[in-house]
Structure 1
Amino acid sequence: MTTETIFYILIAGVISIALAVFMYGYKSKQKGLLAWVFGALRFISIFSILLLLINPKFKSETYTIEKPKLPVLVDNSESISELDQSQNVSELLEKIKNNKELNNKFDLSYFSFGSDFRKIESLTFDDKNTNISKALSSANEIFKNEVAPIILISDGNQTLGSDYEFSSATSKNPIYPVILGDSVQHIDLKISQLNTNRYAFLKNQFPVEVIVNYTGPTPVNTEFIVNQGASSVYRTNVSFSNNETSKTINFTLSANSVGLQKYSAQIFPLSDEKNKTNNSKYFAVEVIDQATNVLVVSNITHPDLGALKKAITSNERRTITFKKPFEAVTVLNDYQLVILYQPDRNFATVYSEIEKLNKNTWVFSGLQTDWHFLNVAQNNFIKEASTQTEDVQAKVNSNYGTFAFDDIGFYDFPPLYTEFGTLSVTVANEEMLGQTVSGISNGNPLLATMEVNGKRNAIWDGEGFWRWRARNFVNTNSFKEFDDFIGNIVQYLASNKRRTRLEVSSETFYYNNNPIKISAQYFDKNYVFDNRASLNIKIRNTETDELTIFPMLLRNNYFEVDLNSLAAGEYKFTVSTTDESIKSSGDFTILDFNVEQQFLNANVSKLNRVAVNTSGKAYFASQSDALIDLLIADTNYQNIERSEQKVVPLIDWKYLLALIVLALVSEWFIRKYNGLI
């Protein structure tokens, strides 16, 4: 309270006394005790009201005791049950929860993790993946400004996410791993990796690479075999020793039948192997009898052409050929799609032949495009070009409905170069990307697709998109997103399939430890994407004949369903609408693969390093009492007394208002009682 406020309170007191004396001590009819009572009550009323007007402020201070936090992170993945550690986890949690000293010293919280990180509701040990890195980073984020040592109950075997040994180095709090499992190295043969192409062409050979590892003290001999159905398609003998514990087996298989071909690879187990589930892997290859052949016609050399080649050939089913205009005329009929890069007058005969053959085209225009020629050579679009150049960036059209595609961060990509002028598409079309200049749309399409009389075409107005592919790699450490974007456009343009109102996209096979998703697009009668539609998918297991129905959820400009709840097996599906009798069917196979069953023991060395790097200490489950005693005895973890100071204005003090009311009411009753009213 300031000196000025105290001065005002003193003045208020003097004024209140003066008024009370004037009213009941000077020329007052009341004498004796009654005058003193009325004077005191009037003083209280006036002084309290003046205090409210002055409204002095008082400081109040409260103290609270805050315990240090102790998050307990429990591994809920299948590897815990595979290592027979479920009972140890339950007993350890009960021991921690029932220890009074530990609970008196710490504020405990319990979390479980597998693929995701969550508060413990129940432990089922059925998560298909383990992401220890995510669990540790989430705990550090929740308790980033607090003293919070972490108890990590896990076998240390991670199947998902970044390396938790390095991510844990940023932890400000010590980590105390409780190791589930033992460090004994059991004899084990396993297929650690199998690589093959996703697609193969009919009558061709496709390569397979298999990496087989051995853990054990003595040399062993075994056999590696690949089966297709009941027949063996490849086999070889394999030997291991103390010095040679890993072998890479390379071989080729023949693609003799069209369709999905399923195989099983197996390394025959040893008689005393404990874990035999990691001795086999399943894989599948889709054999197709036709590749997509793309012809690029260009009269110039440009980095864009290299980006196109890399993006298109990232899919083994596609080939790309480059020709000059005079070379391309005679071979156009050998290709499903013709890409015309920056056409000029040399393309005149090419355009004439394309018109005769009714070929699908994709035109790329830029600073070297002859628009006077191009405007006459075709009827799909026209541009009033000038000699000036313009830098444009891309804006995604979220309502594009011809096919589904992802926004790969176009807003962040470098500008493309084009000639200044208005570009008009003169036929029915859909704009995928629009042009913006300094963030403002100029009304021109950057990329648009069109379909006229069964012929598919596209226009891309801007050169320099090779920088987009490079920027995508900088952002994601991969070219995949850009390559998939170009691949989707090529797939659409290279097909002469008639467009349907319900288009479904699915994989031929899935691994059950990866996302299993099917997407669909539904269009109204004008072929405009209808986001009001209601789609369902019926899934039938061909082995058990079990039928399941799922609703498909709307995701931007497509519908999607997550089928990860399905078991491994072969399925047929039908996507249908609830309002109209429009359906689309297909089939897929889910291949069984449980990565959590591949571990024989705990990763003791890594958990020990995590403990050392964070100034903690690792314990086995049987040593849990020592961990609890250490945490209780550690003087670094003490209760913290926190004080909180509040400034409270007198006007918020309700008792003063009650005092004013009481004084005025008392005076009124006394007057009434004495007949003065």
Structure 2
Amino acid sequence: MQTATIFYIILAGIIALSLALLQYKYKSKASGRRSQLLALLRFLTLFAVGLLIINPKFESVTYFDEKPNLILAIDNSESISYLKQNENASRILNQLKNDDNLKEQFTIETYSFGSDFNTFETLTFEDKQTNINRVFKNIEDIYSENTAPIILISDGNQTYGADYQFYGSKSKQAVFPVVLGDTIQYSDLRIERLNVNRFAYLKNRFPVEIFVNYTGDESVNSQLRILSGNATVFSQNLNFDSNSGSQLINTTLPANSVGVKSYTVEIVPLESERNKVNNRKRFAVEVIDQKNNVAIVAEGPHPDLGAFKKAIESNEQRRATILKPRDYISKKDDFQLVILYQPNNSFSTVLKSISDDKRNVFFVAGPATSWDLLNKNQEFFSQTITNQSEDYQPSLNLNYNTFIIDNLNFDNYPPLKSEFGKLEFKVPEQTILFKTINGTATSRPLLSSFEFNNNKYALLNGEGIWRWRAQNYLDTNSFQDFDNFMGKLVQYLSSNQKRRRMNVDYRSFYNGNESLIISAQFFNKSYEFDADANLVIRLKNETDDTRREIPLLLDNSSYSIDLSGIAPGDYSFTVLNTNEPISASGQFKVLEYNVEQQFLNADISKLKAVAEGSGGKTYFSNQVEQLVNDLQNDSRFAIVQRSSKDIVPLIDWKYLLAFLALTLSLEWFIRKYNGLI
């Protein structure tokens, strides 16, 4: 407590005593003990009021015991049930969760993981994918400031995501894997990986790359075949032994007709082989008869050009070529879309050629753009020339309805640099992204699309889009969302199809382990997005003729349905609005493949590496009691006594207010009783 505060308290006591004596010693008719009692009560009342006015602050220290967290993370994927470990896994979880000794020493938190990491109420063991690496990343984010050892109940088999052995072995939390599944190694042939492009071009040959692995000690012979229907289109003999456990097979297959072509890769199984599911895998290729070519015309090098090219060519149906303005004219007939990157005075001939040919154009402007040239050589928009630049961040227009935008949140994307001043459109435009300045949203467009005289155009008024692609990777460890967004914009600009009131987004085929989401947009007669539409999908399985009708759910500026997990086969569908006779139809194929059934054993080597690297220990399903004892006796996980120091103002002490009310009441009662009032 500060010296000044102590001085004020003493002063308040002197003033309170002086006023009390003045009231009852010199002015009051009362005498004797009654006068002394009343003086004491008045002193206490005045002193309490003085303390409340001064409001001194006191330190309050409380002590409490802090338990470490204990994370129970259980594998909820299909591989657990396929290895017949689901009952074992549930038993281990319940035994650990209900152990009295563990509950006394730890705060127990339970999570399940498969394709995602979350809390759960019941275990289903039906997840189609396993990403163990996500377990360690999420726990590190949640419990970064706490002690939280991890009990990982799993077979250790991961089907996608970064290698969990690297991340888990560096975990700040000790990891204690409980191994589910057989650890005995059996002879096994399996297709480890199959690489093939989603698209091929008519009259060309497309490559197929197959990795085949063998586990075993004996020398074995087999044969790999690629089948189209019942016809064998490729075969190769395989030889393995204990020193040669893998082979890479490369071949090419012909693309003779347009459409989705499905194939089956199979390895003739060994007589003693226990798991034959992983000897067979299906794949498909969509054969198309042309490729969209995009010209990126730019005067000089810039990171944005690489970002555009990478995003465009992430889809095998498209190819992007970077050209100088002087080189474009001789090759202009090769392209369906032209991207003009920051046009300057060297673009005069290019702009005239594009205008004469009535080509679809994507304008990209920035600080190096010659707005004087651009304003004069096109009739769609005009920029006020200030010769000053400004940084603008993007804000997504949720009402944009020309094509479906999903999986992107632009709120944390870096700003783009563009000309400061007013941009005025002379034709109707639809804003995709608005400009945001220092966190303040504006109605000014940053990215727009528009149509004029049966041609399609877009304008990005900013330099630095390469940072957006990099930010997408930082957010998701993938460029996919940004590339999909740019791909949809390029697809829209490359097409000359007329605008429709219903757009449906889907793929021609899906692998059995992929998410299958169909999205749709519906517009009213003014081509405004209709959030009140009643959209349903009528799905027909062409293989067994079963039919289903399922409503689509509104998701921001589109409707969507998740069909993941439907049976493999050929499907046709129609998305329709039950309130109007407008619909869109399509077809897709789901390939038979269950990645969770490719494993015969637990991956004990990776689980042991994670345990040793993180300071934990590996246990088997019959060693749960030993795990409990080791956790109890581990000094790293002892209960810690902590203190909490708070600064408490006196005015928050409710007992002082009660004391003040008591002294006032007693003084009033004594005076009233003795006729002094």
TM-score range, shorter chain: 0.7 to 0.9
Q: What CA distance in whole angstroms lies between the structure 2 residues aligned with 1:241 and 1:301?
A: 56
- Tell me the residue number matched to 1:84: 84
* Secondary structure of the corresponding residue to residue 192 of structure 2: strand
The code of the aligned residue for 2:107 comes to: D
Q: Is the 8 A contact 1:329 1:353 kept in 2?
A: no
Structure 1 residue aligned with 2:283: 283
| SS in structure 2 at match of 1:256 | coil
Alpha carbons 1:175, 1:617 under 8 Å: kept: yes
> 1:616 — aligned with what?
616
CA contact (8 A) 1:408 1:481 kept: no
- Aligned residue for 2:353? 350
Against the structure 1 CA distance between its residues 23 and 228, is the aligned structure 2 distance closer, same or farther, given a 3 Å change threshold?
farther
- Which residue number corresponds to residue 506 of structure 1? 506
What is the aligned partner in structure 2 of residue 663 from structure 1?
Answer: 666
Say whether 1:138 aligns with 2:127. Answer: no
User: Post-superposition shift, 1:433?
Assistant: 5.2
List runs of 5+ in structure 2 lacking aligned partners: none
Aligned to 1:549: 550
2:631 aligns to what? 631
Secondary structure (helix, strand or coil) at the match of 2:495 reads coil
Take 1:370 and 1:146, find their aligned partners in 2: how far apart are those partners? 56
Preserved CA contact (<8 Å) 1:16 1:43: no
The whole-number CA distance in structure 1 between the counterparts of 2:225 and 2:198 is: 20
Asked if structure 2 preserves the Cα contact closer than 8 Å seen for 1:435 and 1:446, the reply is: yes
Q: Return closer, same or farther for 1:643/1:48 CA change in 2, 3 Å cut-off.
A: farther
- Residues 348-393 of structure 1: CA distance to partner in whole angstroms, max 9, x if unpaired? 87357515xxx4444567789887776676544456769x585775
Q: Describe the shift of the 1:666–1:642 C-alpha distance in structure 2 as closer, same or farther (beyond 3 A).
A: farther
CA distance in 1, matches of 2:644, 2:323: 78
CA contact (8 A) 1:20 1:40 kept: no
Distance 1:251 1:415, change over 3 A: same
Q: 1:509 to 1:59 in 2, by over 3 A?
A: same
User: What is the correspondence of 1:567-578 to structure 2 with a 5 Å cutoff?
Assistant: 567-578=567-578
Mean CA deviation greater in 649-658 or 369-378: 369-378
The verdict on how the C-alpha distance between 1:5 and 1:412 changes in structure 2, with shifts beyond 3 A counting, is closer
Distance in 1 between the 2:671 and 2:278 partners? 94
Aligned partner of 1:265 in structure 2 is 265
1:242 maps to 2:242: yes
Matches within 5 A, 1:483-494: 483-494=483-494
Q: 1:190 maps to which residue?
A: 190
Segment of structure 1 superposing worse, 62-71 or 661-670: 661-670
Aligned-residue offset at 1:479: 5.9
Higher mean C-alpha deviation, range 167-176 or range 268-277: 167-176
Q: Is the 8 A contact 2:74 2:153 kept in 1?
A: yes
Q: Does the 8 A contact of 1:294 with 1:336 survive in 2? A: yes
Distance change (3 Å), C-alpha of 1:175 and 1:457: closer
Residue deviations 1:93-138 (CA, integer Å, cap 9, x gap): 3433454333333333333222333334222222222232322333
Task: Rate the CA distance shift 1:125–1:46 in 2: closer, same or farther, 3 A.
Answer: same
- Offset of residue 278 of structure 1: 1.4
Is the deviation greater in 436-445 or in 222-231? 436-445
Give the letter aligned to residue 549 of structure 1: I
TM-score (norm 2): 0.82
In the other structure, the counterpart of 2:218 is 218
Of 48, 51, 54, which residue of structure 2 is paired with 1:54? 51
User: Equivalents in 1 of 2:118, 2:63: separation in Å?
Assistant: 32
2:654 corresponds, among 648, 652, 655, to: 652
Equivalent residues in 2 for 1:416-435, closer than 5 Å: 424-432=424-432
Q: Please give the secondary structure, in 2, of the residue aligned with 1:146.
A: coil
Paired letter, 1:659: L
Give SS of 2:178's match: strand
Q: CA deviation at 1:517?
A: 1.6
Distance (Å, rounded) in 1 between the aligned partners of 2:338 and 2:77: 51
User: Is the Cα–Cα contact under 8 Å of residues 16 and 47 in structure 1 kept in the other structure?
Assistant: no
Aligned position for 2:101: 101
Taking a change above 3 Å as real, the CA distance of residues 487 and 45 of structure 1, as seen in their structure-2 partners, is same
What CA deviation, in whole Å up to 9, does each residue of 1:439-478 have, x standing for no partner? 9999986654332342323455677867877887788776
Change (3 A) 1:171 1:57: same
Structure 2 contact 44–663 (Cα < 8 Å) conserved:
no
Helix, strand or coil at the partner of 1:622: coil
Query: What's the TM-score once normalised by structure 1's chain length?
Result: 0.82
CA distance in 2, matches of 1:48, 1:671: 20
How many residue pairs end up in the alignment?
661
Structure 1 pair 569–52 and aligned structure 2 pair: CA distance change class (3 A):
farther
Q: Pick closer, same or farther for the CA change 1:663–1:536 going to 2, 3 Å.
A: same
Is the contact between residue 408 and residue 482 of structure 1 (CA under 8 Å) also seen in structure 2?
Answer: no
* 1:141 to partner: Cα distance: 3.9
Deviations 1:4-26 (A, max 9, x none): 477468647855884796499x8
| 1:75–1:41 Cα change, 3 Å | farther
Instruction: Give the whole-Å Cα distance in 1 for the aligned partners of 2:437 and 2:104.
Output: 63
**More deviation in 472-481 or 529-538?**
472-481
Greater CA radius of gyration, 1 or 2?
Answer: 1
Matches of 1:526 and 1:551, distance apart in 2: 22
Residues 670 and 39 (structure 1), Cα distance of their counterparts in 2 relative to 1, 3 Å cut: farther
> Does the CA contact (< 8 Å) of 2:538 and 2:547 recur in 1?
no
Contact kept, 8 Å, 1:417 with 1:464, in 2: the verdict is no
1:523 counterpart residue number: 523
Instruction: Decide whether aligned partners of structure 1 residues 449 and 11 sit closer, same or farther in structure 2, where only a CA change above 3 A counts.
Output: closer
Q: Any idea what SS the aligned residue of 1:600 has?
A: coil
Q: Distance in 2 between matches of 1:533 and 1:484?
A: 26
CA–CA distance in structure 2, aligned partners of residues 469 and 90 of structure 1: 43
CA-to-partner distance for each residue in 1:617-648, whole Å, 9 max, x for gaps? 22212222222222223344333334455647
The one-letter amino acid of 1:92's match is I
Partner of residue 450, structure 1? 450
Q: Is the 8 A contact 2:572 2:586 kept in 1?
A: yes
Structure 2 distance, partners of 1:383, 1:6, is 70
Q: Helix, strand or coil: the match of 1:602?
A: coil
